[in-house]
Each structure stands twice: as structure tokens, then as C-alpha cells.
Amino acid sequence: MSRKYFGTDGIRGRVGEHPITPQFVMHLGYAAGKVLASGSSDMRGERTGVLIGKDTRISGYMLESALEAGLIAAGIDVYLAGPVPTPAVAYLTRALRLQVGIVISASHNPYEDNGIKFFSGSGTKLPDETERAIEAELDNPMQTNASDGLGKAKRIDDAVGRYIEFCKSTFPAEMNLRGLKIVVDSAHGATYHIARNVFHELGADVVAIGAQPDGKNINDGYGATAPANLQKAVIEHKADIGIALDGDGDRLIMTDSKGQLYDGDQLLYVIARHRQAQGTLHGGVVGTLMTNLAFEHAMQKLGIPFLRAKVGDRYVMELLQQQGWQLGGENSGHIICLDKHSTGDGIVSALQVLQALRANGQSLADATGDLHMYPQVLINVRVADAKACLASGKVGAAVAEAEAVLDGKGRVLLRPSGTEPLLRVMVEGEDGRLVKQCAEGIAGVVRGVA
């Protein structure tokens, strides 16, 4: 049974359009509640309760109320955390021994979008079978429990403080950030009242930007997907480091004192290399199909096992669990440190990078000096049928020709978009000129057969 509503990162869409409507979301809450109440799910929790957190989108009020109503109608107690990052919901669900955590967020998307994402009682994404059970329940009409079988709602007043203390606990007790000036960009999102406090309480001099949400400005010109204002602020304030998070706080990009950007691959390299030197790297590192080839070569040089998962932090997590490893991530800035948290966390990941820099007395430029990123060209080609294009002999021949030209010093990746009628053509390698030439050549062939 394929999933009808759940994608790789929950249910997401434009507010007011199915399925992101109050009617559907109330039914979704009810369906999830019935699955919980039935005891057919394997979601761990010592009491039947669901935590709801949200980012700063104006639609969060409406969707929170709809979820709350649906869950209570199914007899489930609801715990409201208010605006908190996605990883905070994962942590609080686990800490409060609840069965499920629900995040209302569309991550790095504009405010017109929103979504619903579920966490299990162990703070990880829901198993596929549980999502399928919820979808099956959605086919049944809502039948509100009798009054003596309704759930109740309670607000968690100390949710923010609990999560701040958790983040700080992932940084060594014998270490501090005194003497560092850090610009923290919260994307006007869910970390606006949290991130700056974490770094400040660890001793840093913090300049906060992107920390004035109005319900409509989330990710608008600020945050990990729009770092220009962070780069500008770092230089203006003569800061040592810049940290940019996305709207729901699970993605991280950083800059050095010159405003130079460092993506997820580079930050993951800093953490992995430090952990290897300290003897705390358990197993290897997981990247994705989009991880820069230079990162893979750097892992080989260090003798660190490396595997690629499909694109998406869900798949990185799955491969880490299969291998029994702890460290992985994406070049987009999702970094997972399973010895620190059960899911990707931008603040916690930033602290792991800062720990490495402080321990070694290095800047970001110093710590990544041995990692020479390869030029990468990505071309999106609009197609009617991506699978047919991938099966085309002409496209296959074009890929083979490009691989021969790169001569083992680069790689080619073609993959369909999961949300649009596009085939993504990615080529990377040591020679930027050849990379561009190969990417354009393959894209041209794809257009010819599309």
C-alpha cells in the first residue's frame, strides 16, 4: 500500500488547499488518535498523549486548533508546546514519555505553505506502517467519543526552557564559548526565542538577526536558505562566526569571520574529523547522493567508512540505524548526531562544530583547509516522464560519455524530483569547465527525448 498523503517529510502543501485545510487536519488528528487508542501502533509511550509544537507561521494557530480538536475527539490528551523547533518536539516527546509528537511546519518553505510531521515516542520519524495505518483510518468518518471518553489539553509552560537546557547539555561541561562573538540568524522561525539564549548562556557574545517573527516573514530573506544577511551582519559586527538556521530549526549553515559560507558537507567534515581524532567516532559517516565527491574522497583519506543514502534526512537516519553508526547529514545542512539527539538539530549540530573548533583552537577555514570541494553543476530539466527519460538509450549514452570524459575524477547523477515534473541532472568533478560542459550536454539530450 503506497502512502496517499505522507511524503518523505510528513504532509505538506499550500494553506487552504487540500490537504492543508482545517477540516482535513482535524480529521488527521482524529485518525492518528484512533490509531493510538487502538493499541495497534508500536509507538512507545508510558501514557496516551500527544505533544504539538509549531513554527511561527500565521496558519499555525488554525492548524494547531484543528489537530487539538481531532485528537481530543478521539480520546487523546494533548500537550501544547507553542512555537518550538522541530527537534524540540522530538526531544520533549521523548522526555515527557508521550506516544507521539506532532510538528506544524513547512520547514524552509515560504509562509503560505505549512505541513504536519509526526515523531514517535522515541523521538524518531514514524514507521511507514504507522503512517499507513493513519491513512487507512482517514478513509473512515469521524465519530466523536462520548463526553466521558474525550481527551484533555494542557499547555507545557516550560517547553522552551527545557529545550534550551537540553541543547546546552550536548556541549562539554568543561568548555564554554567565552570570547566568541556569534551572529545567530533564526530565519524569523521557531528558534527565534531559543537559539540566541543557548549560545549566550554558554558564554558567547550573541548578535541575533531574523528573530522578529510576524507570522508571514519566516524564511523571507533570512535563515539557512537565504544567508546573505548573515554574511553581511558577521562582517558589520566583526563577529567570529555566523550561524543560520531554517524556519523549523533542523537545518544549519555557518560562516567564518569573513562571511565565507560553509555548507552541510563542510560542517559534517569538521565534526567527523574531530571525533575521529578524539576516538569518539563510532563506525562511519552517512551522506546522500548529493554529498560532494570531495567529502567522500576526504573520508577515504582519513580511513573513515562512508555510505550514501537517498536524498532526505529520513533516509540518512535509516541508513545510520542499519549500520549502527551515529553521524550523517546532507549538504543542505541537515546534520544528525545520534549520540546527542534522535533527529537532526541545527542548534545541537552548531554546538558540535563549535566544540571541534574550540578544542583545536581553529577557525572554520582552518578546520576545512584539507577539504577542497569539487565544482558541482545542477540543471533541472522539465520532463513529462522522468522514468522514461532515465530509461532512454540516448540519455544513457550521454551519461556514459560524460563519465568517460571525467575519467574517474567526477561523477554524474540523474534523479527525478519528488515534487515537480523535473529530472535533476547533477555533475561534479575536479575540473569545473568539464563539469559544466558535461552537465549541459546531458541536459540537452534529456530535453531532446523529454
User: What is the per-residue pLDDT across 344-400, written as a single tens digit (0 to 9) for each?
Assistant: 999 999 999 999 999 999 999 999 999 999 999 999 999 999 999 999 999 999 999
The CATH code belonging to domain 177-258 is: 3.40.120.10
What is the architecture, at CATH level 2, of domain 11-157? 3-Layer(aba) Sandwich (3.40)
Spatial separation of the C-alpha atoms in residues 167 and 182, rounded to whole Å: 17
- Residue 47 confidence (pLDDT): 52
Q: Which residue has the cell 546573505?
A: 228
Mean pLDDT for 107-117 is 96
Report the CATH fold assignment for 376-449: TATA-Binding Protein (3.30.310)
- Residue 310 confidence (pLDDT): 93
- Residue 373 confidence (pLDDT): 96
pTM confidence score:
0.94
Our CA dihedral for 240, 245, 251, 253, rounded to 10 degrees, sits at -30
pLDDT at 290 over 70: yes
The CATH number of domain 263-367, selected from 3.30.70.20, 3.40.50.2300, 3.40.50.880, 3.40.120.10: 3.40.120.10
pLDDT at 108 over 80: yes
Spatial separation of the C-alpha atoms in residues 291 and 182, rounded to whole Å: 27
Band (pLDDT 50/70/90 cuts) for residue 128 is confident
Band (pLDDT 50/70/90 cuts) for residue 2 is low
pLDDT at 102 over 80: yes
Please tell me the least confidently modeled range out of 164-168, 175-179, 386-390: 386-390
Mean pLDDT for 119-135 is 90
Mean pLDDT for 300-311 is 96
pLDDT at 44 over 80: no
pLDDT at 334 over 80: yes
Closest CA to 245 of 353, 370, 326: 353
Band (pLDDT 50/70/90 cuts) for residue 272 is very high
- Residue 292 confidence (pLDDT): 96
User: What is the per-residue pLDDT across 404-416, written as a single tens digit (0 to 9) for each?
Assistant: 999 999 999 999 9
Mean pLDDT for 270-289 is 97
Q: Kindly state the percentage of the chain with pLDDT values over 90.
A: 91
The CB density around residue 197, as the number of other CB atoms within 10 Å, is 18
Fold match between 11-157 and 376-449?
A: no
392 in catalytic set: no
User: What is the per-residue pLDDT across 186-202, written as a single tens digit (0 to 9) for each?
Assistant: 999 999 999 999 999 99
Q: Where are the domains of the chain?
A: 11-157, 177-258, 263-367, 376-449
Mean pLDDT for 269-298 is 97
Please tell me the least confidently modeled range out of 177-181, 239-243, 308-312: 308-312
pLDDT at 230 over 70: yes
Closest CA to 227 of 273, 173, 184, 279: 184
Mean pLDDT for 322-344 is 97
> What order of strands is seen across the sheet that includes strand 410-416?
376-382, 422-429, 410-416
Mean pLDDT of the chain: 95
Alpha-helical (H) ranges within 305-392 are 313-323, 346-360, 364-367, 386-391
Select which of 41, 59, 105, 107 is catalytic.
107
pLDDT at 1 over 60: no
Q: Kindly state the percentage of the chain with pLDDT values over 70.
A: 97
